[in-house]
Amino acid sequence: MKKLKGLTIKEASKLLEAKEISAKELVADYISRAKKLNKNLNSFLTFAENEAIDQAERIDKLRRDNQKLSPLAGIPFAAKDIFSTKGIKTTAGSKVLESYIPVYDATVVGKLFEAGACIVGKTNQDAWAHGSSGENSDFRPTKNPYDTSRVPGGSSSGSAVATAADQVIFATGTDTGGSIRLPAAFCNVVGLKPTYGRVSRYGIIAMASSLDSIGHFTKTVFDNALVLNTTAGLDEMDATTSPLKIDNYTDEIRKSPSGLKVGLPKEYFEGLNKEIKQNITKALNVLERQGVIIENVSLPHTKYGVATYYIIQPSEVSSNLARYDGIRFGYDRDNFGAEAKRRIILGTYTLSSGYYDAYYLKAMKIRRLIRQDFIKAFKKVDVIITPTSASLPFKFEEKTDDPLTMYLSDIYTTNINLAGIPSLNVPCGFIDNLPTGMQIIGPDFSEKLLYRVGHSYEQESRWFERRPNL
Amino acid sequence: MVREETEFVNWEAVIGLEVHIELSTKSKMFCGCSTDYFTAKPNTHTCPVCLGLPGAMPKANKLAIKYTQLIGLALNCKTRTGSKFDRKNYFYPDLAKGFQISQYDLPFSENGHMFITTNGRTKKIGITRAHLEEDTGKLIHTKLNGTRLTLVDFNRSGVPLIEIVTEPDISSSLEAKTYARNLQQVVRYLKVSDADMEKGSMRIEPNVSLRKVTKGQESMVKELPPYKVELKNINSFKFAEKAIEYEIKRQRKILESGKMPKQETRGWNETKQETVSQRSKEEAHDYRYFPEPDLPPFAFEEKYFKSISEEIPELPDEKRKRFTKDYSLAENDARTLTEGVELAKFFEEAAGAYKKDPKIVANWITGEVLRRLNEENKTISDSPLLPASLAELLFLIDKGEITKANGKEILANMIKTGDDPRATVIKLKVTGISDIKLEEIVIQTISRNPKAIEDYKKGKEASLMFLIGQVQRITKGQAKPEKVREFVLRKLSEAD
């Protein structure tokens, strides 16, 4: 039998198409590895073996009938446990929903099933997607496969780890303030936070509705574009999805980025850790050699980002978590963890009459200024590149005593959510054997362009080939 | 400091009305579930959206928004080009999401007015706003195996609900009732709701307070009282009237004793015939409104408002004025005929077919037709009676083919069956000939049979039967026997 480990979607899909392997073999192989590694990594909360094998058998039959199939057909994947999956437990990483089984699929889950992807299971996360390290999971913390004494980043911890540790070939995630990009950077995988409104939020348990972006993790940029080809698009069930026609994201991905202008926002490089700065400079040198033009830009409202984010986000959280009262489903509010309670209290306060204008309304105004900063910068440059994180993957419990320090983990990512624009984390080398990432940020609906730049860099740097030792 | 001498005149009621009306769209406000919940089995008209399941998202019902704008336009409101939904956050077990999607600072319609007439005086009532929101589920308190339980039915959850708020321009229970009735009428004319108080598709919440009126200030702009009492639990116009009256008396008593009534919410208790305190100001909610992030804001063009305003039919006020003018109807008749759009239409069609004095048609409708319908607790739309048939009936009466009295009997049957008047005459065997004609025949018959009259006077009862038989023969049985008997007897006695 073929060596099935370490496959990309592109490679696996080729093997399946050539009938060199069956979907059932592929899926079974991934499930057994996923289960074995989970004892050490805690990346999964629930396995869906039966569903995955049933789907794989269905795909194999269609393939035997010579049906034309999606490149995702027969590909083992995982969904963050915040995506509603009909008949499969969906906890959002919280004890409140410990036994909740949805009666319907999230739109994105439905689209992936329709394309023939096989769900290996549901991945661990910070409860309700509140967190940057995975330590806020109400069940157990997920570990970084490159160093199991360190955090994998959060909140989509399990999905990043499952992709990096080859437990699945791709995994879905949500990014409200960096929850895809940060764990992607910490785990040496590609993670996309798409434009707000590009991918449906329907059926995904809301954290902060005006910021939540639905993305995914893959080993390579090409794979990432393949998944977006399936998940993107207008959804009748989500009024905030855009009617704008979706691109073919793999098309033109190999086109040289030569001539493109890349902006470096000076605010993101001031006071940056020397090693991380060196690392990103090396990456930029690669892109420069490929013909991109580097320019300095300024995003003057950057410094207000985290504060603005920590008003808007908890405000929405406090309202979105109101339905978890234990009356119709789930357990009662005593089961909320400390971080959820903190955000409910913060958000209830900032929305209270007498405080609304000073906090929420003001934050919404600053949010607009932050977006305008980007719009202005994109008049000058095609994309913006910054480090994804100002620090390396940190040790467990290093930041848990001080929520504010933890919040600052997202300092490079939250502003992109406030602006609603897309950003792609691409692995950008190792420091002390720990992964780092850079994010390529573009204007609204520029995912295709981000993939082109990311792919060009990735094909030369080839960091995705450096797998964790497990 | 000098102070003008003020002289106390009276206490004046300051009343504002909040009216909730469920819109009669087929599907709910934010999902595709049916709104026809009234007799449905509990929790059968639900889906992830109206159950507030994790991850579900709202999608606004376009028709419900249009209905709200139509109501706004009909109430002379300014309709907003820029509008949005907001979240109203509060906990209650019938509220699935822990918040209600409503509208806060940018309602679809605002700043309108309505004219009401009470005791011959016309008054303008300001409409503050008309906004759209979703209805809640329903709690059912029950006992199961000896345990008291509260059950929730989410069939009503998410039904589109419009809230119409007035300025505190109302100063009596009669004005309040008149305003609410007019509003119900307008909404029904627009066909956007059945606005049925008993079914709960129209709910009234008056807020009542009293202020002192001093001499010379009666017509000045006056300050609002420093408190306000909200009344809930009102499911008929009558209850609204009684609750307001009770509240005015209650507050007056408190004020006259030198105290200030509490700011609170009170419910009407029909059994006790009084209002009962439900919630005080201290327990009032902070709803923490903020823009609903799942629904992008709306932008409407003036062009759109122009096109939907063309869909607004002639409203009750205009119609009533036109009826008094074009058909020379009395104010009262015009009011009755314009009560509902169907009745008004029936009148206009019948009057058009009849072509003669429309007042006759109006009299028949406001008199006989409505009396018969009311007896059976029906409306004109429930009856198969056609306007043209009523007109034809009136023709037959005019021509003397039937009497007015018989006409009423025929009409009663027509209202039930929808048959035309000629067919009904034959079917009922009511006289096909008018009283005048019958009288003529009776006189002729008597004059031709002097022998029978002699015999009758001698006490021969059989002679009477003979005479009746003769009349029946001539009328070919179209006259009712009792009537013939009555006529013959009368003529016989006159012949004395």
Q: What is the pLDDT of residues A54-84, one digit of tens each?
A: 999 999 999 999 999 999 999 999 999 999 9
Note the Cα B97 to chain centre separation in Å. 34
pLDDT single digits (tens) A165-223 = 999 999 999 999 999 999 999 999 999 999 999 999 999 999 999 999 999 999 999 99
Instruction: Write the CB contacts of B394 (distance below 8 Å, at least 6 apart in sequence).
Output: B354, B356, B360, B361, B364, B407
Residue B288, chain A, CB below 8 Å: the answer is: yes
| ipTM greater than 0.90 | yes
Question: With contact defined as beta carbons under 8 Å apart, do A218 and A180 qualify?
Answer: no
Q: So what's the pLDDT on residue B384?
A: 93
**DSSP string computed for A385-450:** EEES-SSPPPBTTSSTT-HHHHHGGGTTTHHHHHHT--EEEEEEEEETTEEEEEEEE-STT-HHHH
Residue of chain A with shortest Cα separation from B298: A239
- Given a contact cutoff of 8 angstroms between Cβ atoms, the answer to whether A318 and A347 are in contact is yes
Q: Which residue of B has its CA nearest to A351?
A: B288
Contact assessment for residue A62 and residue A156, using Cβ atoms and an 8 Å cutoff: no
Residue B440: predicted pLDDT: 85
Please, how many CA atoms are within 13 Å of residue B457, restricted to the half-sphere of its CB? 13
Spatial neighbors of A326 by CB under 8 A, at least 6 apart, are A96, A332, A333
Is A353 close to B288, i.e. CB distance below 8 A?
yes
Output the pLDDT for position B217: 64
Of B57, B93, B97, the CB nearest to A322: B97
Quote the strand ranges of A31-169, DSSP E: 44-47, 76-80, 118-123
Per-residue pLDDT, B410: 87
Look up residue B9 and give its two tokens: 């005149």
Lowest mean pLDDT among A281-290, A313-322, A426-435, B272-281: B272-281
| Averaged pLDDT of chain A | 96
Is residue A235 included in any domain, yes or no? yes
Interface membership of A349 toward B (CB under 8 Å): no
With respect to residue A222, please indicate whether it lies within any of the assigned structural domains: yes
Q: Do A323 and B96 touch (CB under 8 A)?
A: yes
- Domain presence at residue A3: no
Which residues, 6 or more positions from A435, have their beta carbon under 8 angstroms from its beta carbon? A146, A185, A186, A187, A188, A393, A427, A463
- From the list B51, B54, B93, the residue facing A205 with the nearest CB is B54
What is the arithmetic mean of pLDDT over A305-316?
A: 97
Helices (H), A154-273: 157-164, 181-186, 221-231, 266-269
In a domain, A311, yes or no: yes
Q: Which pair of structure tokens corresponds to residue A63?
A: 């393939």
What does B323-381 look like in DSSP terms, one character per residue? HHHHS---HHHHHHHTSSHHHHHHHHHHHHHH-S-HHHHHHHIIIIIHHHHHHTT--GG
Q: Cβ B290–A319 below 8 Å, yes or no?
A: yes
Which residue of A98, A172, A242, A325 to mutate against B (max B Cβ within 10 Å)?
A325
Kindly state whether A329 is in contact with chain B, defined as any CB-CB distance less than 8 angstroms: yes
pLDDT at A247: 93
Scanning B44-103 for CB atoms below 8 A from A yields 48, 51-60, 87, 89, 91, 93, 96-99
CB-CB under 8 Å, A236 with B59: yes
Show the domains of chain B with their CATH numbers.
Answer: 8-307 (no CATH), 316-428 (no CATH), 436-495 (1.10.10.410)
What residues 237-266 of chain B have any CB closer than 8 A to a CB of chain A? none
A20-42 per-position pLDDT tens digit: 999 999 999 999 999 999 999 99
Query: What part of A 102-131 touches B (C-beta under 8 Å)?
Result: 102-104, 106
Contacts B48 to A, Cβ<8 Å: 103-104, 203
Alpha-carbon distance of A297 to A263, in angstroms, equals: 6
The continuous run of DSSP H or E covering A461 comes out as: helix A447-461
Look at residue B396 in the predicted model and tell me its pLDDT: 86
The answer to whether B230 and B266 have CB atoms below 8 angstroms apart is yes
Q: Give the pLDDT score at B470.
A: 86
pTM, rounded to two decimals: 0.90
Report the chain B residue with the minimal C-alpha distance to residue A359: B290
Beta strands in B216-337 (DSSP E): 229-232, 264-269, 274-280, 290-291, 298-299
CA distance A396 to B292: 37
Active site amino acids of A: 80, 155, 179
pLDDT in the model for residue B465? 87
pLDDT over threshold 90, residue A405: no
Enclosing domain of residue A43 = 9-465
Nearest to A351 among B93, B96, B290 (CB): B290
Side-by-side strand order, sheet with A423-431: A44-47, A118-123, A76-80, A170-175, A213-218, A190-193, A423-431, A434-441, A383-387, A261-265, A293-297
Pairing of strands A190-193, A213-218: antiparallel
* Residue from the list A208, A238, A325 with its beta carbon closest to the beta carbon of B57: A238
Does residue A2 belong to any structural domain of this protein? no
Q: Is B62 helix (H, G, I), strand (E, B) or coil?
A: helix
Distance in Å, alpha carbon of A346 to nearest chain B alpha carbon: 13
Give the total number of structural domains in chain A. 1
Chain A residue with minimum CA distance to B59 = A239
Q: Which chain B residues contact residue A237 at CB under 8 A?
A: 57, 59
> Residue A151 corresponds to which amino acid?
V
| Cβ pair B288:A348 closer than 8 A | yes
Evaluate whether A191 touches A389 at the Cβ level (below 8 Å).
no
A-to-B residue pairs, Cβ atoms closer than 8 angstroms: 98
Cβ distance of A325 and B91 shorter than 8 Å = yes
Which residue out of B49, B289, B290, B295 would a mutagenesis test of the A interface target, given it has the greatest number of A Cβ atoms within 10 Å? B290
**pLDDT at position B441, please?**
86
- Preceding amide of A155 cis, omega within 30: yes
Question: For residue B496, what pLDDT is reported?
Answer: 58
Of the candidates A283, A279, A286, the residue with the CA atom closest to the CA atom of residue A432: A279
Inter-chain residue contact A239 with B89, CB threshold 8 Å: no
Q: Tokens representing A24?
A: 């059932």
Domain containing residue A122: CATH number: 3.90.1300.10
Residue found under tokens 């795909």: A59
Distance CA A440, CA A185 (A): 12
Chain B CB contacts of A352 below 8 Å = 286, 288
A416, A250 contact by CB (below 8 A): no
Residue given tokens 């997202």 in the structure block:
A410
Across the interface, whether the CB atoms of A203 and B56 are under 8 A apart is answered yes
List the pLDDT tens digit at each of the 496 positions of chain B: 555 556 666 899 999 999 999 999 999 999 999 999 988 999 999 999 999 999 999 999 999 999 999 999 999 999 999 999 999 999 999 999 999 999 999 999 999 999 999 998 999 999 999 999 999 999 999 999 999 999 999 999 999 999 999 999 999 999 999 999 999 999 999 999 999 999 999 999 999 999 988 776 666 667 889 999 999 989 899 999 999 999 999 999 999 999 999 999 999 999 999 999 987 766 667 999 999 999 999 999 999 999 999 999 999 999 999 999 999 999 999 999 999 999 999 999 999 999 899 999 999 999 999 999 998 888 999 999 999 999 999 998 887 778 777 888 889 889 989 888 888 887 876 656 777 788 888 888 888 888 888 888 888 888 888 888 888 888 877 777 777 888 888 888 876 5
Residue A1 lies in a domain: no
